[in-house]
Structure 1
Amino acid sequence: MKNWLFLSIAIIAEVIATSSLKSSEGFTKVLPSMMVVIGYGVAFYFLSLTLKTIPVGIAYAIWSGSGIVLISLIGWLALGQKLDMASAFGMGLIVAGVVIINVFSNATAH
């Protein structure tokens, strides 16, 4: 179960880092730039810990798919970016894929 906690931390850290990229204004703002560097460092460290028990393809699919959806939602809710029906449908497919991997795949370490 610890491996899923590590993967969750990796996802959250990556989302924080990616969300801070816009605020860093091309790494010209110190605090947001530090959040980007530290966030990605934490994300990759915890992702590496999950790879001890979860296959890399499965971990990366969950990490990147979850990150895409969360970043898109943050962009929509916090940054006023538009999401149309096609993007919402596509993100729904990503979420469905993550659920299918977690529920039905024998390749994941449950």
Structure 2
Amino acid sequence: MVYLTLAGAILAEVVGTTAMKYSNGFSKLVPSLITGFSYAVAFILLAQTLKTMAVGTAYAIWAGVGTAAIAAIGIVFIGESVTVAKIIGIVLVIGGVVVLNLGGIH
């Protein structure tokens, strides 16, 4: 259940960050509202996750998976450039999250 809550926090953060891209510096109302709401949900769910998961592990997963997802969304849907360095960085972030989970940091 804790990983489901964390996944919800990650999803909300990714939605909020994607909406922020379209808010035009918070000058467009709907994307700005989506950003604020999504970040509020993300922090609420992350706080719930922290009740039963170590803060270092939870934050590493939240930040790492969120970063990788946003980078992938930028490449696939927003048309941001793809470079070898960017791909290697995404792979390293995902690898770091996997190692943290396998290492049993709790």
Q: Is TM more than 0.5 here?
A: yes
State the partner residue of 2:62. 63
Q: Alignment length, in residue pairs?
A: 106
What is the CA–CA distance in structure 2 between the aligned matches of 1:27 and 1:39, rounded to whole Å? 14
Aligned residue number for residue 88 of structure 1 = 87
> Cα offset for 1:90?
1.2
Q: Which runs of 5+ in 2 are unaligned?
A: none
1:54 and 2:42 correspond? no
Between the aligned partners of 1:22 and 1:99, the Cα distance in structure 2 is 28
Q: Within the alignment, does 1:16 sit opposite 2:6 as a pair?
A: no
Unmatched 5+ residue regions in structure 1? none
Among 89, 103, 106, the residue aligned to 2:104:
106
**CA deviation after TM superposition for structure 1 residue 24, in Å:** 0.6
TM-score (norm 1): 0.93
Q: Displaced runs of 4+ in structure 1, greater than 6 A?
A: none
Q: CA deviation at 1:99?
A: 1.0
Could you say what secondary structure the match of 1:80 adopts? coil
Aligned equivalents of 1:54, 1:62: Cα separation in 2? 11
Displacement of 1:74 in angstroms is 0.5
Question: RMSD of the alignment, in Å?
Answer: 0.8
Q: CA deviation at 1:87?
A: 1.1
Q: Distance in 1 between matches of 2:2 and 2:45?
A: 9
Shift of 1:11: 0.1
Report what 2:28 is aligned to: 29
- The amino acid across from 2:35 in the alignment is V
Structure 2 Cα separation of the partners of residues 107 and 22 of structure 1? 34
- The one-letter amino acid paired with 1:13 is A
One-letter identity of the residue aligned with 1:72: A
- What TM-score do you get using the length of structure 2 for normalisation? 0.96
| CA distance in 1: counterparts of 2:60 and 2:97, whole angstroms | 7
Following superposition, the deviation at residue 106 of structure 1 comes to: 2.2
